[in-house]
Amino acid sequence: MQLTQYGCFIDGVWAPASSGGYVEVLDPATGSLTAEIARGQEADVDAAVASARQALPAWADSLPAQRARLLAAIARRILNEQEELARLESLDTGKPLQQAQADAVAAARFFEYYAGIADKVQGASIPIGTEFFDFTVREPMGVTAQIVPWNYPLQIACRGIAPALATGNTVVVKPAELACLSVLALTRICHEEGLPAGVLNVVTGLGHEAGAALAAHPDINLLVFTGSVQTGRNVMRAAAENIVPVLLELGGKSPNIILPDADVDAIAPLLLKAAFPHAGQTCSAGTRVLVHRSQHKKLVERLSALLKTLKVGPGLQKPDIGALVSRAQQQKVEGYIDLARQEGATVIQGGVWQGDTDMAAGSFVMPTILDDVGAGMRVHQEEIFGPVLSIVAFDDEDEAVRIANATEYGLVAGVWGKDVGATHRIARRVQAGQVFINCYGAGGGVELPFGGYRKSGFGREKGLDALLSYTQVKNICIRIES
């Protein structure tokens, strides 16, 4: 099989990086080489930003209805190519194919949703007396730089690109070197559907080279980053040098709170589904279960039984749990499981790969449940980013809320129970950007504002609230001659 090489996409043209170098892309399920991507560096980022800057005036001044029609066409094209996009996403990230298929549908939905909003971004008039006519308009931020992570490259790229384009911004994307093939396919689709040259540019390469250059670039107007807390700190520092606003979506350690009257048998499968999307490599995964002590034993037994039924394997075979994205991520997760034992937690089952030796070359970790976890343990506090679920018992509402809030994160939470008053009280007190009651997630969630408290980041993506990040308000005041 001939190895595919991908270039950067700058000013409407695919081309190798200026250095001529490439980065290998590996299949996490087998460890085999699948492709090579251009190793973009500072010169390539400069070219991409310059292209986006040049294209900005015409795109910002284009009719909103024109932008809406183009975004709608891109959405239809994504749906038409969803099977190939899902195959690339599964092959590249290791996630089960059915999850990658859902990502492709969500990607199209982002373009559909913001196509519907593009011609409805309005200002307001402000009454300040008869002497003045005062009004506001919302204008695009300008050149938006978007650094996309490896866990949901297609979906996260679309959730940033679609609202940026809808509101008249131009875009420079730096996708993660570990998984970016679906983003490159998306770029091709946008170009083929008629997106003008320079409006969307993509520079592939390493984070500390191309990513760092983009975050520090003096001619961007907004930096959008999804990733780890430490890297988020670094990109904030870089953007601060140029007084560039930052939209951050960082880590999570999201709790599901199980009240005494919850139906454990019914919700146990939903808790595993919440904990293990993309093998737990999801910032919003419900990786902590806080259960009332009266329900603790029953829930552990139910979850343990269900865990034994989960199939682990290569993503294209549609397992329940796929490979982790890399060998380094696999070793990190295995290290946390060892740490849990050292801290006194009980490993119910799972951990180091125990399946077929034929899959030993892949980056697999068995789905794992940790019981007897204390709120002060590192496995309770830190984001593991793997198929590891921690269980903590509590005695009353106050303790449940205290444990739920006892991490540096605040991204998502779930509350489960029949007492409407109790579930609502807890939902109001939990510090998280999204709180679900008797569910965890709602379809693709494209319409729901998404973002975190504390070290889970700031700003909101998805929904109408995303427009606040991708536009800026200008006030215009006119004195009326009497």
Residue with tokens 């980065």: 23
Catalytic residue among 283, 334, 383, 461: 283
* Nearest Cα residue to 353 out of 372, 331, 336, 379: 331
* Nearest Cα residue to 412 out of 426, 432, 427: 432
What is the DSSP-derived secondary structure letter of residue 480?
P
Q: Is 283 an annotated catalytic residue?
A: yes
* Nearest Cα residue to 362 out of 84, 34, 3: 34
Catalytic residue among 249, 334, 383, 461: 249
Please count the other Cβ atoms lying within 10 Å of the Cβ belonging to residue 427. Answer: 16
68's enclosing H/E stretch is helix 64-80
First to last CA, the chain: 78
Cβ neighbours for 155, distance < 8 A, ≥ 6 positions apart: 103, 106, 107, 110
The first and second tokens of residue 480, run together, are 């009326």
Length of the chain: 482
Calpha distance 25→459 (Å, rounded)? 32
Please count the other Cβ atoms lying within 10 Å of the Cβ belonging to residue 230. Answer: 9
Q: Which residues are catalytic?
A: 249, 283
